[in-house]
């Protein structure tokens, strides 16, 4: 359970980030908070999600959780960082299948869309899942990697 997890949120996801951070810490995860550190209703999600995404891409963090109001902006900006495979998740199948097949390394949520109980279940599913390494999935990921060159 010593997995290094990073989390980030703007004002739209701040409250959810605080709740989820408590749950992650009390479950024994090694959590790094990339902000926001207080609720500022004019803050911008790239300011928090980009540092998180860079930490995940560099291997400093093993997985990331990015939250904004809808989860859309967070996933768009996270995917601009080479090496990031981020997705906005609202269902339990995608929370684990996104890792098993697509090696998703950042999960995104909408703080105005998904409640803390559901998000906590989705996070547990995401963190427990492992990339299958199957040849067909590696082949697909290689095609994505080529786009980052
Ligand atoms: C901020 O109000 C909101 O636009 C942002 O949190 C997010 O929903 C963007 O996708």
12-37 pLDDT tens trace: 999 999 999 999 999 999 999 999 99
Continuous segment of H or E residues that includes residue 146: helix 135-147
Statement: residue 49 has pLDDT above 90? yes
Statement: residue 1 has pLDDT above 90? no
Task: Say how far residue 55 (Cα) sits from the centre of its chain.
Answer: 12
Q: How many domains does the chain have?
A: 1
pLDDT at 54: 98
User: Ligand 1, atom 7: nearest CA belongs to which residue?
Assistant: 69
pLDDT at 2: 83
Task: Single out the residue of 93, 94, 83 nearest to residue 144, CA to CA.
Answer: 83
Residue 16 belongs to what domain range?
4-147
* End-to-end Cα spacing for the chain: 34
pLDDT at 92: 98
Statement: residue 76 has pLDDT above 80? yes
Identify the CATH number of the domain in which residue 101 sits. Answer: 3.40.1400.10
User: Ligand 1, atom 5: nearest CA belongs to which residue?
Assistant: 69
Indicate which residue of 31, 67, 68, 119 is catalytic. Answer: 68
Give distance in angstroms: CA of 134 to centre of ligand 1: 36
Banded model confidence at residue 77, pLDDT cuts 50, 70, 90: very high
Q: Is there a contact between 29 and 36 (Cβ–Cβ < 8 Å)?
A: no
Tens-place pLDDT, residues 82-138: 999 999 999 999 999 999 999 999 999 999 999 999 999 999 999 999 999 999 999
Q: Is there a contact between 67 and 8 (Cβ–Cβ < 8 Å)?
A: yes
């Amino acid at each position: 359970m010593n997995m290094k997890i990073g989390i980030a949120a703007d004002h739209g996801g701040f409250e959810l980030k605080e709740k989820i951070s408590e749950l992650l810490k009390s479950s024994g995860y090694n959590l790094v908070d990339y902000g926001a550190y207080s609720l500022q209703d004019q803050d911008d999600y790239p300011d928090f999600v980009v540092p998180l995404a860079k930490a995940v891409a560099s291997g400093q963090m093993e997985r990331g959780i990015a939250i904004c109001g809808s989860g859309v902006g967070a996933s768009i900006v996270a995917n601009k960082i080479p090496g990031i495979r981020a997705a906005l998740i609202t269902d339990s199948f995608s929370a684990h299948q996104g890792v098993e097949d697509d090696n998703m390394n950042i999960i995104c949520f909408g703080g105005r869309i998904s409640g803390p109980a559901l998000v906590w279940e989705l996070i547990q599913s995401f963190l427990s899942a492992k990339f299958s390494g199957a040849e067909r999935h590696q082949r697909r990921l290689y095609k994505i990697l080529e786009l980052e060159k």
